[in-house]
Structure 1
Amino acid sequence: MARADVGLMEKLHNLWRQSTSSERSVVVLTSILLLGITLSYLYAQSLQRRKLPPGPRPWPIVGNFPSMSGDTPHRSLFKLANKYGGLMYLRFGSVPCIVVSTAEVARELFQTHDANFSSRPRRLVWRVLHNYDDNFKVMGSAPYGPYWRNLRKFFNEEMFSPKCLAAREGIRMEEIQHMSAILLDDAQQGRVVNLKRWLWGVTSNTITRIFCNRRFYGPDQNEQDREEFEQMTAGILSALGAFVISDYIPSLSFIARLQGWEKKFESVYALSTRISEKMFEVEKHRERVLKGRESGQIDMNYVPDFVDVFLTKPLEGGKLFPDEDIILFLKHMLNAGTDTSATMVEWTMAELIRKPDIMKRAQEELDAVVGSRQFVQESDFAHLPFLEAIVKEGFRVHPPSPLPIIRESLQPCEFRGYKLPAKTLLLNNIFAIHRDPAVYEDPDEFRPERFLDRPEINHLAHFSSFELIPFGVGRRMCPGSTLGHVMVMLMLGNLLFRFQWSMPEGLKVEDIDMSEAGGLTMWMKSPLCLVATPRTPLSKP
């Protein structure tokens, strides 16, 4: 024993000998009391843990929040799930959280407790992007309740019903043709194609035409308008993907202030509001609607855009949406409709370049179905089972939002024998569910054939298919899932049918960077750049 330790022990021993018997009794009783309290606390914690799912031991104060840090939290949680199972318990500060990582657990949970886990926790970014109005109105952030149900019904009936989707089929085809002319010109000039940018142009033009009858990409479009549009969408996406520690551990709000999150979100709000007011032109839409009513002349060929719908269709009780709500809804819906579909097709094209035999088989199927026509049409989809299998596999291996917006329970509940308190957070790790070894053999392998053997797996189902859920599941499933699927099929089908794809000169398929980047959406860290060659003599549409 070191000399200093010996000296300390001697001093303590002398103090003990010099103390009175009553003083010694106090010390002993105090020690016993502290030991008892400590043991009781540890025992209570042990009993509490028995009532909760397994999970990693939390850190003091921050809990398991470090598991959410880093560029790819879905992969970090996937590794933890391999150790603790498909239902895992985490704690963010004092806030409980469960993580679902297998199809079996997802099926059990959402068939029995979906309504209870359909609300949203309060987040700083939502408060700021709603201009500090705590009555969150956007569907993605609104708490579960009567308002959210009315809003969901409105979207399903007035915007994303089969009838509404069919009415806008011509818009989708026009934008494919418009952007295909640009791609054909690049191919004929031998230019390398930045596929991400082209895909972003198609999805953006399609969505903005559906929303407000405007186009931002193409040779005849205003460059400043396009740049502002990109600034707005990029800013909102970045803000929504941010992990702010004070959202989960309010006592550490000073850290969020030091990081400047609130000021960053305020800047995004100001920019997006300014740009979206100019972009959606709500007053001009209102004037056109009123003029049409007054004149009694209705253009039967005109398909109302979403601004028109908001201005003419009430939510509940005959009351129309105020202008500020219309702008709020549309600018948040833009991101879901543009970034996710473009990201998914880019990932899928990267996989196909690496597996030319799969690409060839898809092109042979397209040739047989589309024949001498120049473009793949939506009516062809029912006759393209292999293309659909490729799309499903793309969604499985590279879900655009591998860790979607977190949910929150409304009431205490019991699940699998575990007692979960109210306001328990829920994370659906879609990345992990899509790699469930109980469902998929060689889950990391890109193998579309697996869905030809299992056509019953339907990624557009709300409650009947839990093995493939790129658009979410249950009541909180993305309302635009069918539109997203159609856009992916249309873009991918025409890219494969109209062009042969290869690597730029001097590069090999092994040079493709398959690493991820992003936040709420995970895109390719390095944009996919390829050379396009027309497969048959093509003319500009």
Structure 2
Amino acid sequence: MAQFVNKTPICNLCQQNTNLQSFNTNKLTNSCLMDLSHLLENYTLILETIAISVVIYCLSFLYKTTTTPPEASGAWPIIGHFNVFNGPDLPHVTLASMADRYGPIFNIRLGVRKVLVVSNQEIVKDIFSTHDVSVSDRPNYIAANILGRKGASFSFTPYGPYWRGIRKIISQELLSNSRLDKLKHVQVFELEKSIKNMHELWKEKKDEQGKVLVEMKNWFGELNMNTMLKVVAGKRYTGGDGEDEEEMMRCREVIKEWFKYFGQFLVADALPFLDCFDLGGYKKTIKQVALQLDSMVGKWLEEHHRKRSSGDASEVKDFMDVMIQVVEDDDVAGYNADTIIKATCETLIAGGADTISGMLTWTLSLLLNNRYALRKAQEELDTQVGKERRVNQSDIKILVYLQAIVKETLRLYPATFINAPRAFTKDCTIAGYHVRKGTWLLINTWKLHRDPKIWSDPCEFRPERFLSRNHIGLDVLGSNFELIPFGVGRRHCPGIGLAGQTLHMVLATLLQNFDISTPNCAPVDMSPSAGLTNGKATPLQVLVSPRVHALINL
């Protein structure tokens, strides 16, 4: 019994030990299983993370290749496609070749900046019908910042209240039809004076064949500079005496430099961290041009202020008078009144004189290379206007072939081959592609105007196309996206009315008064020059003689 009783505790103890060992074994086993489970979970998490990352990468790569415009190859390290604007060919030609390879919408890279290049009517329509506000900003590059007076110039100020205010003043006060009508006597006077001077030159220097050699680029340039200076600031480029004559000559040269550098991209525009080095000294030169122009225009503004303070300002004689009356607030968007007036007048003088002179030069060059069109234009003048009186502005509406000549010239040789750059202010979808905020936009007008899907024989000069059923209703106001020589959207050129009036009147008056040809009937060189505006690279020397019925006694 005792033994039995004594055995029980021992057995119980053994059983407890056995249970304990079993418990410890189970505990260990469970612990190992839990650790293994956690390890497997971690591995699974890692694998899932890797898998998700790979999928995201692949999807992002796929998204990028299918929804962003293709980027042109040939980019240089760091600076990208900067060679497009400094290569052997002019930028519009290089970009047109890229469009042939990559399509009508593609990207190039200028250092750290993305630039979207477009050369198709439908895509341009998509942009400016749907996203006009989003592409109404201007990129802030060095030349525009300096020559545009840090945004005071309406052409290159950012899109916003200041731009809208200045644009309203220009459209309603300066370049409105009523204002142009009040100042049209200036254009009439300057044109008649230029025609009379050419007659006098012919009398003095005509050769045995009764012709005189005239350089027409200079002739058009002086005529339009005189007109614009008179309309804007009450000055004349030629015809002054002594100091005034020298000042006007300097003005023309400075404005040439202004346009030359306004359209120039510097290395520091692509790589902003190089700005402080001023590679090539371009920034210093641009600042000197800006100072010279500021000095001249500032002098004219002071003269206007003195006249106004002395009480001799009862009559508004020019745009500068209008601006002084309208811009009274001395702190508009951080600019004082004088800065706004000078910036606006500089842009109007330079823009009006240079672009219109260039377009007239191209028009006459095309006519001299297509003599049938020149003869037809003169025949229309003789029939519709007659030979007994001078052509006037009211005649232009019946000179339909002359209008067609101007349109065809603006198609082939618009004021700018590449529209002034824009900048996207928010992400947009263009032609199915995703375009990021901050991207620059360039419209290759030269390429767009030569689209064979729209224009038959697109490189040929054929004014008759604008008298045909397909194109007779097209205008150059920016509403027809296949013909945009003055730009498109909110920031199209506000001087379309002035340009159209001048182009038609100068051409009609010139052709009514003179027969024009080239020495030895040689073709005219049509090579364009580099710059913001599209100018002819070489002089335009022509032989001029009065027509039999010319109205010499002007």
Residue 308 of structure 1, CA deviation: 0.4
Letter in 2 for 1:312: Q
- Report whether the alignment pairs 1:397 with 2:412: yes
Aligned-pair CA distance for 1:44: 5.0
- In structure 2, the residue corresponding to 1:521 is in which secondary structure? coil
Q: State the SS of the aligned residue for 1:414.
A: strand
Separation in 2, partners of 1:287, 1:111: 47
Q: Are 2:533 and 1:521 aligned?
A: yes
Structural mapping, 1:476-487, within 5 Å: 476-487=491-502
TM-score w.r.t. the length of structure 2 is: 0.83
CA distance in 1, matches of 2:455, 2:273: 42
CA-CA distance at 1:503 after TM superposition: 1.5
Q: Where do 5+ consecutive residues of structure 1 fail to align?
A: 1-36
- 1:99-498 residue pairs with structure 2 within 5 A? 99-129=117-147, 133=150, 136-188=151-203, 189-190=205-206, 191-218=212-239, 222-253=244-275, 257-278=278-299, 280=300, 282-292=301-311, 298=314, 303-314=316-327, 322-453=337-468, 454-460=471-477, 462=478, 464-498=479-513
Match of 1:87 among 105, 109, 126: 105
TM-score between the two structures when normalised by the length of structure 1: 0.85
SS at match of 2:545: strand
Deviation per CA, 1:465-524, whole angstroms, max 9, x where unpaired? 1111111011010111110111111111111111100112xx3323x2211113111211
Q: CA deviation at 1:48?
A: 1.8
Q: 1:40 and 1:66, CA in 2 relative to 1: closer, same or farther beyond 3 A?
A: farther
Provide closer, same or farther for how the CA distance between residues 469 and 315 of structure 1 changes in structure 2, counting only shifts above 3 A. farther
In the superposition, relative to structure 1, how do residues 113 and 373 fare at CA in structure 2: closer, same or farther (>3 Å)?
A: farther
Percent of residue pairs identical: 32
Kept after mapping to 1: 8 A contact 2:412/2:446 = yes
CA 348–209 in structure 1, closer or farther in 2 if over 3 Å, else same: same
The residue that corresponds to 2:115 in the other structure is: 97
Q: Compared with structure 1, are the counterparts of its residues 153 and 228 closer, same or farther at alpha carbon in structure 2 (3 Å cutoff)?
A: same
2:93 aligns to what? 75
| 8 Å CA contact 1:406, 1:427 repeated in 2 | yes
Deviation at 1:312, TM superposition (A): 0.6
CA deviations 1:275-334 (Å, max 9, x no partner) are 2223x2x233234334448xxx95xxx553011001111377998962232122212221
Q: Which amino acid in 2 is paired with 1:234?
A: K
- 8 A Cα contact 1:167 1:303, kept in partner: no
Query: CA contact under 8 A between 1:117 and 1:410: conserved in structure 2?
Result: yes
Determine the C-alpha separation between the residues in 1 that align with 2:54 and 2:445: 40
Q: How many residues align?
A: 489
The CA deviation at 1:248 is: 2.7
> Given residue 70 of structure 2, which amino acid in structure 1 is its aligned partner?
P
Aligned-pair CA distance for 1:154: 1.1
By how many angstroms is 1:345 displaced? 1.1
SS for the counterpart of 2:132 is coil
Question: Is the alpha carbon distance of 1:45 and 1:540 closer, same or farther for their aligned partners in structure 2, counting shifts above 3 Å?
Answer: farther
Equivalent in 522, 542, 550 of residue 509 of structure 1: 522
Residue 15 (structure 1) aligns with: none
Task: Describe the superposition over 1:344-377 as per-residue Cα deviations: whole angstroms up to 9, x where unpaired.
Answer: 1111111111111111111111112222354321
CA distance in structure 2 between the partners assigned to 1:364 and 1:209 by the alignment? 33
Partner of 1:65: 82
TM-fit CA distance, 1:271: 1.4
Cα displacement (A) at 1:445:
0.2
Decide whether the 8 Å contact of 1:150 with 1:316 is kept in 2.
no
Q: After alignment, is 430-439 or 326-335 more displaced?
A: 326-335
Greater radius of gyration (CA): 2
The answer (yes or no) to whether the contact 2:123–2:430 under 8 Å persists in 1 is: no
Show CA shifts across 1:420-467 (max 9, x none): 11011100111111111111011100000011122221102x4x2111
Secondary structure of 1:426's counterpart equals strand
Q: Is the 8 A contact 2:80 2:109 kept in 1?
A: yes
Distance in 2, matches of 1:252 and 1:122, equals 15
**Contact conserved, 1:311 with 1:321, CA < 8 A, in 2?**
no
The alpha carbon displacement at 1:250 in A equals 2.0
Query: What's 1:6 paired with?
Result: none
* Residues 1:42 and 1:63: Cα distance change in structure 2 (over 3 Å): farther
Query: Deviation of residue 69 (structure 1)?
Result: 2.4
Matched residue type, 1:82: D
- The equivalent of 2:68 in structure 1 is 52
SS at match of 2:515: strand
**In the alignment, does 2:532 pair up with 1:532?**
no
Which runs of 5 or more residues in structure 2 are unaligned? 1-52, 207-211
Please, which moves more after superposition, 323-332 or 382-391?
Answer: 323-332
